[in-house]
A and B are shown apart, each in its own frame.
Chain A
Amino acid sequence: MNAPATLAPAAELVGTDLIVDGLRCAGCIAKLEHGLLAQARVAEARVNFTTRRLRILHDASLDADALIADVAALGFEAHVLAQAAAPDRESRRLARALAVAAFAAMNVMLLSVSVWSGADGATRALFHWLSALIALPAIAYAGRPFFDSAWRALRQGRTNMDVPISIGITLTCAMSLYETAVQGPHAYFDGAVMLIAFLLGGRLLDSVMRERAQDGVAALLRKLPDDVRVLGGDGEVRSVPTAEVRPGMRVLVPAGDRIGVDGQVEAGISDVDRSIVTGESAPEPIAPGGTVLAGTINLTSPLTVRVTAAAADTVLADIARLMEAAGQSKSRYVRIADRASRLYAPAVHLLAALSCTGWLLAGAGWHAALLTAVAVLIITCPCALGLAVPVAQVVASGALMRRGVLVRDGAALEKLAAVDTVLLDKTGTVTLGQLIPVSGLPEDAAARRVLLALALGTRHPHARAIARALEAEGVVPALISELRELVGSGVEAIVEGRRAALGRVEWVAPGAAAAAATGPRTWFAFDPAAPACIAFSDAVRIDAAPAVARLRALGLDVQFVSGDAGAVVQSLATRLGVQGHAEMSPADKYDAVARAEAAGRRVLMVGDGVNDGPALKCASVGMAPSAASDVGRQAADIVFFGDWLMPVPVAIAAARRTMRVVRQNFALAIGYNLLAVPLAIAGQVTPLVAALAMSGSSILVVGNALRLRGAAR
């Protein structure tokens, strides 16, 4: 595309992939691409609208966070995509195989039509040979996905959908080749190639769906700093790799740094952002004697911590281990099509064998008996299982995608339809996970500008919340001088000769009456006579109440599982009319899910934080908002965009509709088999009948699946 003209040729360019939410139209694409290109350090920006990805080629001095901030400034929400898509993806291989199969099917069909319309003798033999010449290489190439998978299953002593398909195709080809050689009337090359083409269509849709929802995989332990500052006995500070830190050591944690170890505070008073472990968005004050966890962030002033656990023994490492264990149990789920084929494949093979022996006993020759058996196999080949299930799931997930719900794979939809219990995390899931100032912002325009200028001077979560709220209102920061941040207290500056301060009450306005209000708050003083107390709360998603009501209307048992304090959870739970469990550790959440699953319930876990990771993995289905931590997104099967909670019930309703259509398709397929199989056993199925029956039933099930286009309501 465009050459990076404004960059010096020597500048090192790196590529970053982001996943972007909020793209709706051509205007969005243009705004995003042009907006990013206006930046001197961005060489190329290209949106892939289908996958909602944004690929940026930029100067190495920009990092992902800066790019995300740039994208946010343009009005879009972006997340890092840790893994760039592999160039040769599965769907591309399948598409090529499908192209070959379709090409072969059309040409063989052309020849077959002449045979059916009466060609015989040398012409028929020639056309059969030509068909074989086209079909055999095409099947060898396009059938590989089925043969490989069937072979893998057989080697492990299992059977799957691909086993009957492979056996059917191989037998059909062998039989047709023999027919061609002896100049017989019935060669089924057209049927075999068409079957492969239809099945590849289903397989392709399945993999397109999986790849569309693929998100980056991020390692949990990347959250830990690589090395920590250890305080020696002589007061000397050394940098020690995190892996070599032992319990009992004393570690110095500067303000603003991520804490690398679990431990107990020995000195220093600060605030800690524990959202990674507890999901609690408000910073927590900490004093000597308090405990800190690895992965959390020390916000306001330096701490000296005595290590109680490091590296593989920390709470964060425990979470990683729990997730790994949960993930293993999850992969044991068997897709509905594979479950059906466990019954279907033996039945079909038995039927074919029976009709072969039946005809032999009845006095027919080997040739005629085998031909009948092949006709039975071709007629019963599981087109509906191979095509109808993925088509239904792909149509439904496309509909969900338009509603802002990304489904990772078809299995997730199948499991979602069977869910009977919904566990909701509070922070970040039912709430937006973002502090917003609810009261105390100054009314006076000049004071608001001063407040914004102060808030922009620090990275404390309270200040950032204020800055976000004021910037959203279009407030412009005032000119201030002598801005300084007092670690542990707040920020202050001189404005028009007066002191303005934002921070702790005892520093900002000593002597001010401590407000009775609970919850996180901060103080702002510009007018010394009237210091303002700014209170924050975590905003509940606007449609939380109707969404929960709809979940209950769907017959689901809805509960809260939260790491937050009891009172906060209880008040929200009462408001929404659900049962709330508070103060749950990541392991408690995991246990709650595991217990319910063990009791035979099917759990949907909706959560966002690292603390929800094990529970998301352990539940039948995990669902996470797109703003979740990358660990949460990675653990979830389904990701939903936007500030709404409604996608949760919408996805469940759509999944149930999808499974209803899948069951209808099974019924259609079985009904078709009931009609066609007796004909095949009776030896009445010619290649023409087989071709008609196969395409007819495929069109029927695909048409039925297309009804799901409006499923996401």
Chain B
Amino acid sequence: MSIVAVLIPVALLLGLLGLGAFFWASASGQFDDLDGAALRILIDDEPQRPDDRP
């Protein structure tokens, strides 16, 4: 049973990691345009201008 003492904290930690990732994603606007993201992969190139990228 002593393995539980390791496994439960590990499980909780992994879960919390996922939760933290969700909070980050939500705060950085990853879920703002769900349908648009699915369509944008079909656009050949993102609008670019000279000297746009470093």
Known: A2-B52, A5-B50, A37-B49. A106 touches B22 (CB 8 A): no
Q: Which residues of B are found within 8 Å of A95, using beta-carbon distances?
A: 26, 31
Q: Which residues of A are found within 8 Å of B15, using beta-carbon distances?
A: 103, 106-107
B52 touches A99 (CB 8 A): no
Known: A5-B52, A49-B33, A130-B8. A26 touches B43 (CB 8 A): yes
Q: Which residues of A are found within 8 Å of B36, using beta-carbon distances?
A: 29, 47-50
Q: Which residues of A are found within 8 Å of B51, using beta-carbon distances?
A: 5
How far is B43's CA from A249's CA once the two chains are assembled, in angstroms?
Answer: 61
| Majority-rule SS of A interface residues | helix
Interface residues of A, count at CB 8 A: 30
How far is B51's CA from A45's CA once the two chains are assembled, in angstroms?
Answer: 18
Total contacts A to B, CB within 8 angstroms? 68
A100 touches B19 (CB 8 A): yes
A107 touches B33 (CB 8 A): no
Q: Is A545 an interface residue, CB under 8 A from the partner?
A: no
Chain B residues numbered 30-48 whose CB sits less than 8 Å from any CB in chain A:
31-36, 39-44, 46-48
Q: Which residues of A are found within 8 Å of B19, using beta-carbon distances?
A: 99-100, 103
Q: Is A34 an interface residue, CB under 8 A from the partner?
A: yes
B23 touches A37 (CB 8 A): no
Q: Is B6 an interface residue, CB under 8 A from the partner?
A: no
Against B, the Cβ 8 Å flags (1 = close, 0 = not) of A14-55 are 000000000001110110011001000000010111110000
Q: Which residues of B are found within 8 Å of A50, using beta-carbon distances?
A: 32-36
How far is B19's CA from A33's CA once the two chains are assembled, in angstroms?
Answer: 34
Q: Is A3 an interface residue, CB under 8 A from the partner?
A: yes
Q: Which residues of A are found within 8 Å of B3, using beta-carbon distances?
A: none
Q: Which residues of B are found within 8 Å of A682, using beta-carbon distances?
A: none
Q: Which residues of A are found within 8 Å of B44, using beta-carbon distances?
A: 30
B26 touches A26 (CB 8 A): no
Q: Which residues of B are found within 8 Å of A27, using beta-carbon distances?
A: 42
* Residue in A closest to B48 when the chains form the complex, CB atoms: A2
B47 touches A34 (CB 8 A): yes
Known: A26-B43, A48-B36, A49-B36. A103 touches B18 (CB 8 A): yes
Q: Which residues of B are found within 8 Å of A6, using beta-carbon distances?
A: 49
Q: Which residues of A are found within 8 Å of B34, using beta-carbon distances?
A: 50
B39 touches A99 (CB 8 A): no
Q: Is A123 an interface residue, CB under 8 A from the partner?
A: yes
Q: Is A144 an interface residue, CB under 8 A from the partner?
A: no
B39 touches A25 (CB 8 A): yes
A33 touches B47 (CB 8 A): yes
A96 touches B35 (CB 8 A): no
Q: Which residues of B are found within 8 Å of A29, using beta-carbon distances?
A: 36, 39-40, 43
A37 touches B39 (CB 8 A): no
Smallest CB separation, A17 vs chain B (Å) = 13
How far is B46's CA from A587's CA once the two chains are assembled, in angstroms?
Answer: 52
Q: Which residues of A are found within 8 Å of B42, using beta-carbon distances?
A: 25-27
How far is B38's CA from A50's CA once the two chains are assembled, in angstroms?
Answer: 11
Q: Which residues of B are found within 8 Å of A100, using beta-carbon distances?
A: 19
Q: Which residues of B are found within 8 Å of A353, using beta-carbon distances?
A: none
How far is B11's CA from A351's CA once the two chains are assembled, in angstroms?
Answer: 40
Contact of B39 among A34, A49, A106 (CB under 8 A): A49
Smallest CB separation, B29 vs chain A (Å) = 9
Contact of A49 among B8, B35, B48 (CB under 8 A): B35
* Residue in B closest to A35 when the chains form the complex, CB atoms: B47
Q: Is A707 an interface residue, CB under 8 A from the partner?
A: no
Closest 9 pairs (CB-CB, A-B)? A49-B36, A26-B42, A26-B39, A48-B33, A30-B43, A37-B47, A50-B35, A49-B35, A103-B19
The 28 sampled A-B contact pairs (Cβ below 8 Å) are A2-B48, A2-B49, A5-B49, A5-B50, A5-B51, A5-B52, A29-B36, A29-B43, A30-B43, A37-B47, A37-B49, A47-B33, A48-B32, A48-B33, A49-B33, A49-B36, A50-B34, A51-B33, A95-B31, A96-B23, A99-B23, A100-B19, A103-B15, A103-B18, A103-B19, A106-B15, A107-B15, A110-B11
Interface set of B (CB-CB < 8 Å, partner A): 1, 8, 11-12, 15-16, 18-19, 22-23, 26, 31-36, 39-44, 46-52
Interface set of A (CB-CB < 8 Å, partner B): 2-3, 5-6, 25-27, 29-30, 33-34, 37, 45, 47-51, 92, 95-96, 99-100, 103, 106-107, 110, 123, 130, 134
